[in-house]
Structure 1
């Protein structure tokens, strides 16, 4: 016989696996063609020059070069100002 009565149980002990999203290569880093730059859900970062976008919104390098992040101001239909972050690959010429 147990000398201590059983305690209650919790039904909240679950958690999903981490998706490992985020920026993988930062501005100023040199990367090869095909390297993943950003993993994201939706378009937080937009593809720019020499950058492709996968069906899951992953941004990757189309050419070898240096990563560059830029911000662009956009005016929406009701005059609100948004900043979009665009990822470019600057190739050596």
Structure 2
């Protein structure tokens, strides 16, 4: 009787679930306390003014305001400028 030897099982076919990381609120977007601004692994972004950091390095807003990103000494910071500090002129581009 002729028998075909069974083929080996595929060694591929595994993948991890998506983690949904990244920037959630971008420059000049309005945020409210508790809004997540960045989900990350490690500190790709650092908390700046009015921004808190969770134990999984998630950055979130502490006050209602506008999101601003900045770079200081080679580190990217995320800041929230409070809404009460904003005037009509501060949201306009500099001419």
Q: TM-score, normalised by structure 2?
A: 0.78
Please tell me the root mean square deviation across aligned C-alpha atoms, in Å. 1.5
Structure 2: give runs of 5+ residues left out of the alignment: 86-95
1:57 maps to which residue? Answer: 57
Structure 1: give runs of 5+ residues left out of the alignment: 74-82
* Matched ranges for 1:4-83 at <5 A: 8-73=8-73, 83=74
How many corresponding residue pairs? 81
More strand by share: 1
The runs of at least 4 aligned residues of structure 1 exceeding 3 Å deviation read 5-9
> CA–CA distance in 2 between the matches of 1:25 and 1:7?
50
Q: TM-score, normalised by structure 1?
A: 0.80
